[in-house]
Chain A
Amino acid sequence: MAVHPSAARDPSSVPLWSRIDRLVVAALVVAAAISRFWHLGYPPEIVFDEKFTVSQARCYLTHLPYRTTHPPVAAMTTAVSMWVLGDQPIAWRIGSATLGTVLVGVTYLLGRRVLDSRMGAACVAGFVLCDGLFLADSRLCLWEIYYLTFLAVAYLMLARFIQTQDLRVGRRYLAIMGAMLGFALGSKFALPAIGAIVVLAFATYSILIKTNGPGEHDKIDLRRATPRIIDTIALVGGTTSLVYLGLFFLNYWFGWWGGIEDHLTYVKHELHSQTLLVGAHPYAAQWWTWPLMLRPLLYWFQNNFFNDPTMPAASIRAMGNPILWWAVVVAIVVATMRVVAGLRDFLCGAVSHWRLAFIVVGYFAFYTVWIPVARYKFIYYYMPALYFGFFALADLVDRCWNGRAKTVEQGALLAVLAPMLLLSLGSFAGLMLAILIGAAYAYTAASDARIAGKFAAVIFLFGVGGSFVYFLPLWTGIPISHAAFDARVWFRGPGLPNWL
């Protein structure tokens, strides 16, 4: 949808909900459900950290304690599905698959509000749909999709709160936001707290702006805003804590915990456990390797740790869609430059800037928090930052589509395709196709800049779709020939890049 320039400056501007939205969100959710639920029971065995989540669920069903793991939401959900469907792989994973499907729909709704565009919203939901790491984690009983989905709903509530002028209406969104943050904190140890801090920071910013009127350059009066900020923090913090503590009710019910002191002991124990996870790990990936996807992680392999040339290769990898991941790097750089350029206006209360600032702050908050952490790290820790990165990328594609992106931004978006073409098609064919696309873009740009932007967006989206189909076997464990497997594992070391 083309956005009117004046509307884009209004924080409350959102594309009106229409039949197109219903159709788009329905199509996205159906596609997500197909990709998440298809052969969900495969592989028919415990995969990677399912040994923790499924074990904990079994312990709940047999009223036994299970200490050494994350908070209980994923395991409790799994226990319920196992109680209904029996102890089988589909029952283990149905919670993740459901939330992974919901996440695509929620992302569309959030995209409409954060990007103020249907095209951008469809893109960002499509990126979540077509990313390998989001897909693989949605098809396994792991913690990531749980907390990411709850955080996404919290972000949606934040957007609704910011875009609502009436605080009596807005407090509903704050309450739901608090509950979602509680569920997120109850799904994964500590990490969702970063999301809570980001959300509260932007809710506070919104209160400041609302208290001081809609004018873009009003001076911020902290004294007037402080009581409302305290009320907001009380409402969100109280709801979050209430829900979070309530999620541990089974620990009290079964007598494993006596009081709050036991909860604090558990938190101390988990923090201490993190300090023990130092040293080398074959799957470890340093934080600075994540955006370029240099070291994915092997979740599962069939029969043999190594790829057996005499058998079809079947494995599940925690790796993303390379085009998306590499393009996110470009998009975040572009978004950060735009935020920095508009920083003064943002600080002075130009609320139209909250959208991009929210994306950039969210990305760097979840990413940089890992820099000082000493324990070994894995690539899937990048997921919450990547989620924000998808919004920056969708914004870039949307701006290309609407002719608002600069030529250099369009060129950078297309340039991301070059390594993919070279690595998947081989040097000659890949180079020829890359040159052909570059020449076609240059010709279009010379004649009509708007059409050039649309060309860049369409070619990029085709690349994303093609890459999704190409790499699908590595995310779902579909058996493929040894040659097909070799063609997809682009990096095998020695050295830093190693797709295992």
Chain B
Amino acid sequence: MRICDVSKISRLRRSRRIAFAMLVVCSISIAATALCDDNLLVNGDLSQGSGDAPTGWRSQALIATAGTVQWIHPTSASGELRISNNGSNIAQWGQPVDLDQGWYLLTAEMQSDARPASGAVLGIRIGGRTFGVSPSEGPEWSLRGAYFKLGEPEEYEARPEVVCQLSARGTVAWRQIRLIRVAQEPPSGRFIKIDVAQALASRSQRKSAARPKRYALAAGAPWTVPIVMLLFAAMAVAGWVRLGRD
């Protein structure tokens, strides 16, 4: 009996230990999950802010009319950024970020009726240029994103900025915006890869290059040039001589 009791107690203790260990593992997992929300953006779910200003984000517009830039934020829920352009305009929501050299993944859910669709962008503005992806056409929300390869911060004149930009007519909305660091070059897959450092370097090369634009194939007869020039020269000389007679 006693032996049996000891065995029961031992099993009970083991069960308790396993339960405790599981509790510890679960707790660590939950804490780790919370701590591992490695979104580099402040207020990426757009739930925080005051008035019309979401925390961490700023709006800018070439022509700022009422309703061009909006922060839609239902109480105690994640919000969305929205831009509406009735005419020709450029407007954006942006958040400056400090990014080291390496790979990053920027994603957001987007909804757009921009015309053309390429006028709406989720991207990173750097070196005076915006790199990013445009939404797919249609009223549904869709997850869009891209991997960005950045060079050394010293290579850029200003801080990079994550931007939600609209330079076309229409209305576009962004929500659940996330920017995370990726340890190594990602495999080809759902999101496109943009090598920002290389693009900026090739852009600077293009800027100093001669880019010819051809005329239509030469079709005129060469003799027409001296004839026409002689005609005009004769006109000028005749006018000169005749005016000198007075």
Which residues of chain A have a CB within 8 Å of any CB of chain B? 45-46, 55, 58-59, 61-62, 64-68, 87, 167-168, 170-171, 174-175, 178, 227-228, 230-239, 241-242, 245-246, 251-252, 255-263, 265-266, 269, 280-282, 284, 302-308, 310-311, 492-494, 498, 500
Q: Are A234 and B216 in contact (CB under 8 A)?
A: no
Task: Please report the C-alpha to C-alpha distance between residue A68 and residue B223 in the assembled complex, in whole angstroms.
Answer: 26
Q: Are B158 and A231 in contact (CB under 8 A)?
A: no
Q: Are A263 and B220 in contact (CB under 8 A)?
A: yes
Q: Are A58 and B239 in contact (CB under 8 A)?
A: no
Cross-chain contact of A303 among B128, B221, B224, B240 (Cβ < 8 A): B128
Q: Are B158 and A308 in contact (CB under 8 A)?
A: yes
Q: Are B222 and A167 in contact (CB under 8 A)?
A: no
> Does chain A have a CB within 8 A of B244?
yes
Q: Are A55 and B210 in contact (CB under 8 A)?
A: yes
Contacts of B238 in A (CB 8 A): 231, 234-235, 238
Interchain nearest-CB distance for B65 vs A (Å): 4
Q: Are A235 and B239 in contact (CB under 8 A)?
A: yes
5 A-B pairs with least C-beta separation: A259-B220, A235-B239, A238-B236, A238-B235, A261-B220
Q: Are B62 and A241 in contact (CB under 8 A)?
A: no
- Which stretch, B25-33, B88-96, B116-124, B131-139, touches the partner chain A? B88-96
Task: Please report the C-alpha to C-alpha distance between residue A252 and residue B216 in the assembled complex, in whole angstroms.
Answer: 13
19 contacts between A and B (CB under 8 A): A46-B207, A59-B210, A59-B212, A61-B210, A64-B210, A68-B213, A168-B243, A228-B243, A231-B238, A235-B240, A241-B232, A261-B220, A262-B218, A262-B220, A265-B216, A304-B125, A304-B158, A306-B61, A306-B92
Interchain nearest-CB distance for A196 vs B (Å): 14
Interface size on B, residues (CB 8 A): 52
Contact status of A500 and B214, CB under 8 A, knowing A178-B236, A234-B236: no
Contacts of A175 in B (CB 8 A): 236, 240
Contacts of B1 in A (CB 8 A): none
Q: Mark B88-108, 1 if CB is under 8 A from A, else 0.
A: 111010001000000000000
> Does chain A have a CB within 8 A of B202?
no
Cross-chain contact of A311 among B158, B222, B228, B246 (Cβ < 8 A): B158
Q: Mark B10-37, 1 if CB is under 8 A from A, else 0.
A: 0000000000000000000000000000
Q: Are B246 and A168 in contact (CB under 8 A)?
A: yes
Q: Are A259 and B235 in contact (CB under 8 A)?
A: no
Q: Are B212 and A280 in contact (CB under 8 A)?
A: no
Q: Are B157 and A303 in contact (CB under 8 A)?
A: yes
Interchain nearest-CB distance for B181 vs A (Å): 23
Contacts of A171 in B (CB 8 A): 239-240, 243-244
Task: Please report the C-alpha to C-alpha distance between residue A492 and residue B65 in the assembled complex, in whole angstroms.
Answer: 10
Contacts of A241 in B (CB 8 A): 232, 235
B246 (CB) vs chain A CBs: closest residue: A167
Task: Please report the C-alpha to C-alpha distance between residue A269 and residue B216 in the assembled complex, in whole angstroms.
Answer: 10
Interchain nearest-CB distance for B41 vs A (Å): 17
Cross-chain contact of B212 among A64, A238, A259, A494 (Cβ < 8 A): A64
A167 (CB) vs chain B CBs: closest residue: B246
> Does chain A have a CB within 8 A of B182?
no
Q: Are B221 and A45 in contact (CB under 8 A)?
A: no
Contacts of A255 in B (CB 8 A): 218
> Does chain A have a CB within 8 A of B198?
no
Contact status of A245 and B229, CB under 8 A, knowing A168-B243, A171-B240, A303-B157: yes
> Does chain A have a CB within 8 A of B4?
no
Q: Are A58 and B210 in contact (CB under 8 A)?
A: yes
Within 8 A of A (CB), among B22-57: none
> Does chain A have a CB within 8 A of B209?
yes
Q: Mark B72-97, 1 if CB is under 8 A from A, else 0.
A: 00000000000000011110100010
> Does chain A have a CB within 8 A of B211?
yes
Q: Are A262 and B96 in contact (CB under 8 A)?
A: no
Q: Are B211 and A266 in contact (CB under 8 A)?
A: no
Contacts of B237 in A (CB 8 A): 238
